[in-house]
Amino acid sequence: MNRKVIRAGGALIASAVLAAGLAACSSGGGGGAEGEIDTSRTLNLTLANHSWTTAMQDLVGGFTEETGIKVDINVYDDEQLAQLYNVKLNAASDEIDVMMYRPLQDAQLFAKNNWLEDLTPYVDANPDWNWEDFWQSARESLTIDDQIVGVPLASETAMMLYRTDLLEETGMEYPKTFDDLKAVVEKIHEQHPDLFAFAGRGERSAAVTQFSSFLYGFGGDWFEDGKATVDSPEAKAAYEYYGGLIRDYGPPGATDMNWPQVMGLLQQGLVAFYPEGSSNYAAAVDPENSTVKDVIGVGPIPAGKAGSKPYNITAMAVGISSSSTNKAAAWEFIKWVTSEETVLKIQQADVPGARTSALPADLLATIQGNAEIGVGYDRPYVINVAEARQYVGDPIVAAIQGGDVDAAADKSARDFQEILDHEAE
C-alpha cells in the first residue's frame, strides 16, 4: 500500500491508493441494493482525522485482497472536512462514495439536505451482518424518518486522563467531585509549577464536547423545551469552573487548542489532568509518541452537584453519499469495516466500536457503567449544530481569557435562542 501525505491549509490529508487483489466479486451474497460491483473503479473514501481512521488504515489492505476493490483514502481535519462536504455535497458531486461524519453534529442536516443514501435496503438485504448487534442508542441516532442514514464506527464517552505518578506524589486520592479535582490540581501546580496541572480543549467549538460533562455535572444543559438555558446559574458556574481551570493551570494559547494540540502536550509529559473522549485514549499511550505512556491513568469525570454525568455517544459514523455512482462497492466497504471481525481488530487498537458482541468484557462493563449515568449528547442536538457550537462555546473562551462570563453566557443564550426559534418554525 502506497501512502502519500501532504499538508493543505494546515490540515492533514492522507491519500492511500490500494492495489487490486483478488478477482472481481459481485454483490450476489449480500453486496447491497445496487447490483453488480465494478472492481475496475476506485472507491473514494472521505474520512475524518480520527484514531478510528488510523487503526482502519492498517487493516484496509485486507479489504482489497478480499474484494478486488481499489480504495482511495482522503483524511481531513474536522473543519476542512465540514467545508469539503458543504461544497461537494451541495454540488451533488460524485467524487465522494463513502463518507465519515459525526452523527450528533451532522446527521440531521445531512439527512435534511438529502446528502445521505438510505441504507435500509442494504441492511435488510444483509441479515447476517446483524444491524441489531449495534447498540440501540447508536442505531437510533442514525435512523431519521425511518431511514438508516449511517452505520456506527466509534463510540465515545468522557474520561479523565491523568498522570498517576503526579497524583501519587500529592498523597491525595483520585478526585470524586469537582471540588476534589480543583484541590488536586492546585496541589500539583504547587509541586510542579513548570507543568500544566490541568489542560483541556479551549478552541470555541471544539471545547463544547468536553465541556458538556462539566455542564451536566453542574446541573445545566444547552436548552430545555425550546428555550436556551446556557445563561442559567448552573451553566454559568460550569463555564467559570472549566474555563477557570484552564486559565489558572493550563497552557498559554489554550483558546486555539483542539484535542491534537492538548494531546501533544500530554504526550510530552507536560499535563497532569486532561478531560477527553475515550476514542483518543490510544494517542495518550502511543508507544511511539507518548513519553509518559506507562504512567497514564484513566478515571471518570468527577461529580458536580448533579452527580457525575459524562456524555456517552456515537462519535463517528459512516454512510454513502447519495450522489455516489459506486454505491454497491461503497456498501461492500461499509459492510466489511463494520463487521464484527474488523470492529474487534480496531478495538484492539484501543478504539471502542459500537458492536456489543465485539467489546472486551472490561471495556463493555465500563461503557455500560457510563451508559447508566451518562448523557446521550455532547453538544446542542439541533440541525445547525456548527453555528450553535460557536455560540455556546463563547463563554468558555471568555472564562479562559478572564473575561465577563455572565455577559458572555447571556449573549450566548440570546444568539442560540435565534437558532432554536428558527428551527421551530
Lowest mean pLDDT among 24-38, 164-178, 214-228: 24-38
Burial class (CB in 10 A: 0-12, 13-18, 19+), 290: buried
pLDDT higher than 90, residue 215: yes
Nine-digit cell string for 376 = 446521550
User: Pick from 151, 210, 160, 211: which is nearest to 353 by CA?
Assistant: 151
Domain ranges, ordered by start, for the chain: 4-149+314-355, 157-311+374-424
Least confident among 24-28, 103-107, 242-246:
24-28
Superfamily of structural domain 157-311+374-424: Periplasmic binding protein-like II (3.40.190.10)
Q: Is 7 a residue whose pLDDT tops 80?
A: no
**Does 214 score more than 50 pLDDT?**
yes
**Lowest model confidence (mean pLDDT) among 83-97, 117-131, 133-147, 241-255:** 133-147
pLDDT for the residue numbered 35:
65
243, 396 in Cβ contact below 8 A? yes
Closest by CA position to 201, among listed 380, 377, 399: 399
Q: What is the pLDDT of residue 332?
A: 97
Q: Is the pLDDT of residue 109 over 60?
A: yes
* Residue 313: per-residue pLDDT: 84
Please check the confidence at residue 1 and state whether its pLDDT lies above 50.
no
Q: Please compute the mean of the pLDDT values over residues 84-95 and round it to a whole number.
A: 96
Q: Which residue has the higher pLDDT, 61 or 298?
A: 61
Residue type, 101: Y
Contacts 24+ apart (CB under 8 A), 218-227: 218/178, 218/304, 218/305, 218/306, 219/304, 219/305, 219/306, 222/379, 222/380, 222/381, 222/388, 222/392, 222/416, 223/380, 223/416, 223/420, 226/420, 226/421, 226/424, 227/417, 227/420
Q: How far apart are the C-alpha atoms of 255 and 253, rounded to whole Å?
A: 6
The DSSP bridge pattern shows strands 151-163 and 312-320 to be: antiparallel
Q: Which residues pair with 4 in a beta bridge?
A: 15
Judged against a pLDDT cut of 70, whether residue 216 lies above it is answered with: yes
pLDDT given for residue 11 in this prediction: 30
Instruction: Give the pLDDT of residue 282.
Output: 81
- 342 CB contacts (<8 Å, ≥6 apart)? 56, 59, 336
CA dist 318 and 53 (Å) reads 11
pLDDT of 15 above 70: no
**Predicted local confidence at residue 66, as pLDDT:** 95
Q: Give residue 381's pLDDT band: very low, low, confident or very high (50, 70, 90).
A: confident
Measured distance CA(296)–CA(280) in Å, rounded: 13
Residues 6+ apart with CB under 8 A from 277: 156, 157, 158, 159, 209, 210, 259, 315
Q: Rounded mean pLDDT of the chain?
A: 88
Percent of the chain whose predicted confidence (pLDDT) is above 90: 73
pLDDT score recorded for residue 27:
34
Largest CA distance in the chain: 66
Pairwise CA distance, residues 301 & 209, whole Å: 13
pLDDT of residue 358: 64
Confidence of residue 231 (pLDDT cuts 50, 70, 90): very high
**Mean pLDDT of all residues in 258-278:** 96
| Cell 510530552 belongs to residue | 268
Structure confidence at residue 26 as a pLDDT band (50, 70, 90): very low
Residue recorded with cell 441489531: 132
Residue 399 near residue 243 (C-beta atoms within 8 A): yes
For residue 167, the model assigns a pLDDT of 98
Q: Is the pLDDT of residue 334 over 50?
A: yes
Task: Scan for cell 500544566, then name that residue.
Answer: 196
Using H for helix, E for strand and C for coil, what is the string for 228-286?
ECCCCHHHHHHHHHHHHHHHHHCCCCHHHCCHHHHHHHHHCCCEEEEEEEHHHHHHHCC
* pLDDT tens, residue by residue, 90-105: 999 999 999 999 998 8
Per-residue model confidence (pLDDT) at position 377: 86
Q: Which of 138, 141, 88, 139 is nearest to 115 (CA)?
A: 88
The three cell numbers locating residue 56: 482502519
C-alpha–C-alpha distance, residues 177 and 26, integer Å: 56
Per residue in 273-324, pLDDT tens? Answer: 999 988 788 889 999 999 999 999 988 899 999 999 999 888 899 999 999 9
Please name the residues in contact with 302: beta carbons below 8 A apart, sequence gap of 6 or more. 160, 175, 176, 177, 178, 180, 181, 217, 308
Q: How confident is the model at residue 83 (pLDDT cuts 50, 70, 90)?
A: very high
Contact 343, 56 (CB under 8 A): no
In degrees rounded to 5, what are phi and psi of residue 11? -110, 150
Q: Please determine, for residue 20, whether its predicted confidence score (pLDDT) is greater than 80.
A: no
Region 226-241: mean pLDDT is: 98
What pLDDT shows up at residue 51? Answer: 85
Q: Can you name the CATH fold of 4-149+314-355?
A: D-Maltodextrin-Binding Protein; domain 2 (3.40.190)
DSSP string, 340-395: HHHHHHHHTTT---SBSTTS-HHHHHHHHHHHHH-BS-SS--SS-HHHHHHHHHHH
